[in-house]
Amino acid sequence: MTGPRCHGIVKSKRTRMNPHIAHIATELKKKLQSLPEKRDILKAPELRELYAQLKVTSQDERPAFGQAINQLKQELETMVLGYESAAESAALTPIDITAPFDTNIKPADRPHLLPTELGSRHPLSIERQVVADIFTRMGYDVLDSRQIDDDYHMFGSLNFPEGHPARDDYDTFVTEEGLIAPAHTSTMQNRVLKAGEPPIRSVLIGRVFRNEDLDAKHEHTLNQIEGVYVDRNINVGHLLATLKTFLDAYYKADLKFRIQPAYFPFVEPGFEFAISCPFCNEKGCMTCKYEGWIELLGCGMIHPNVLREGGVDPVVYSGFAWGLGLDRLVMMKHSIEDIRNFQAGKLEFLRQFK
């Protein structure tokens, strides 16, 4: 800022200035511009000198001379005030009206807020992207799953008839209007099948919810990765090769895995797919509940009723699907012993994944 914002001179009250005083006024105003401490101008020797001259001025000239000095002093005072208020405004941090907190409060005065540079991406967000990149390279479309759904997509479209006992395996949360917080990403299968003609290659990733007893492997809110592949002549060999290719790429290893038969109404045959526990090397520990293996996903060949409900002819086409827990996948990768760490909000845990 080069000058004061406002001089505040009231012109109508101004009398014509004595030329000697007018010259000193010009000099003092010039001097004021370069003074670091603007208020010092009011103690300038030139002003003191003028007051000294007033004492020796003749009685006739004294009133006008005195008035001119006062006018000059007032002008200088107004200019000093202008400089001071301009400096005060410049010292204020501009307000960012989009910020979620008051940026005028200095970091030292808001110890409850962390400096933004300390923030980091959540490990599940980082790994979600890694998973999406691998499946994209394998030729899949990667989409988000829905976080609120209905009975048809949760059960009806997936071959769970009304009153079927298998519905109880997916105990989740329901709104008063009857909407459902999905318990698995399989709710997306029907939409994917209806979206286009085979070949269908889609991966859906998203958050799901379960009314669950919590422990080191079970959360009420978790993330799943659903895969759907439909084409002519697809069989279980394609399913297992796909999962192994993905898991080897994700863990950068040649993994040991095992499958065992499992029942899901929307696949036939259905399997549970497990990898050996990296914490105990199959000996048994708290994390794997002394089983030596960690179950990562459910999978199988898509049931003909599900294909038909999705508008795909099961006589012409076949396909496979899987539902994989992202949280457990990441636990294995980083040797995280307890799934609850992801949502505990502990900074010591989260900062390890910068």
At residue 81, the 3 state secondary structure works out as helix
Q: Within 145-204, which residues bind ligand FA5 (CB under 6 A)?
A: 184, 186
Helices (H) and strands (E) in the chain, counts: 10, 9
Nearest in space to 78 (alpha carbons), one of 17, 18, 14: 14
Candidates 74-82, 86-94, 159-167, 315-323: pick the segment binding ligand FA5 (CB under 6 A). Answer: 315-323
Q: Specify whether the CB–CB gap between 158 and 186 falls below 8 A.
A: yes
Rounded least distance, CB 95 to ligand FA5, Å: 44
Work out whether 296 is an interface residue with ligand FA5 (CB under 6 A): yes
| Binding-site member from 65, 83, 140, 322 for ligand FA5 (CB under 6 A) | 322
* Residue 297 within binding range of ligand FA5, rule CB under 6 A: yes
Residue span binding ligand FA5 (CB under 6 A) among the ranges 47-55, 90-98, 247-255, 320-328: 320-328
Q: Please choose, out of 42-50, 54-62, 81-89, 322-330, the segment that lies near ligand FA5 by the rule CB under 6 A.
A: 322-330
- Is there binding between residue 246 and ligand FA5 (CB under 6 A)? no
Alpha helices in 60-188 (DSSP H): 62-91, 123-137, 151-154
Among 124, 192, 193, 321, binds ligand FA5 (CB under 6 A): 321
Which residue type does 297 have? L
Count of residues in contact with ligand FA5, rule CB under 6 A: 24
Residues 6+ apart with CB under 8 A from 309: 157, 159, 190, 193
User: By C-beta, is 77 or 338 nearer to ligand FA5?
Assistant: 338
Q: Is the dihedral of CA 263, 269, 275, 281 positive or negative?
A: positive
Residue type, 192: V
Among 151, 248, 295, 338, binds ligand FA5 (CB under 6 A): 295
| Listed residue (88, 87, 105) closest to 96, CA to CA | 105
Interface residue with ligand FA5 among 212, 248, 291, 338 (CB under 6 A) is 212
> Applying CB under 6 A, which of residues 328, 332, 336, 342 lies at the interface with ligand FA5?
328
Which of 240, 242, 248, 249 lies closest to 273, judged by CA?
A: 240
Name the strand (E) or helix (H) holding 50.
helix 45-55
Name which of 41 and 321 has its Cβ closer to ligand FA5: 321
User: CA-CA distance, 291 to 287, in Å (whole number)?
Assistant: 9
Token pair belonging to 234: 């697809």
Contact set with ligand FA5 (CB under 6 A)? 184, 186, 210, 212, 218-219, 222, 224, 264, 267, 270, 295-300, 321-323, 325, 327-328, 339
